Amino acid sequence: MVLYGLKTCDTCRKALKALNADFVDVRADGVPQEVLAEAQARFGDRLLNTRSTTWREMDEAARQGAPLDLIAAHPTLMKRPLIVDGDQMYLGWDKATQAALGA
């Protein structure tokens, strides 16, 4: 199991504490393109965190880019955490994700 997130994100830290997962800091290490593409296919627009500080600081023209290009350029725009467990993926750390992972 791999958890993609930010080491400074409280939600990511809670998820990591509850799970036995390898941690990948998206700011330092990025997310492999194939993982991002699969996450985009599964979660669509939900993958892009439009409530983040990074998003709010972007001008309207910059926001018009393709979501995967925006996340590649600004990893903090990805909703977190993204949890990959075999062929399953989970986005966020809500009650449904916690129940699905037995946390």
**Inter-residue contact 12 to 21 (CB < 8 Å):** no
What are the residue numbers of the active site? 9
Backbone angles phi, psi at 81, to 5 degrees: -80, 155
pLDDT in tens, 28-87: 998 999 999 999 999 998 999 999 899 999 999 999 989 999 998 999 999 999 999 999
Q: How many Cα atoms occupy the beta-carbon half-sphere of 46 within 13 Å? A: 11
Predicted local confidence at residue 57, as pLDDT: 94
Residue 103 has pLDDT above 90, yes or no: no
**Nearest Cα residue to 4 out of 27, 29, 23:** 23
Q: Please give the model's pTM, rounded to 2 decimal places.
A: 0.90
**Nearest Cα residue to 82 out of 58, 30, 50:** 30
Sign of the C-alpha dihedral computed for residues 39, 71, 46 and 16 taken in this order: positive
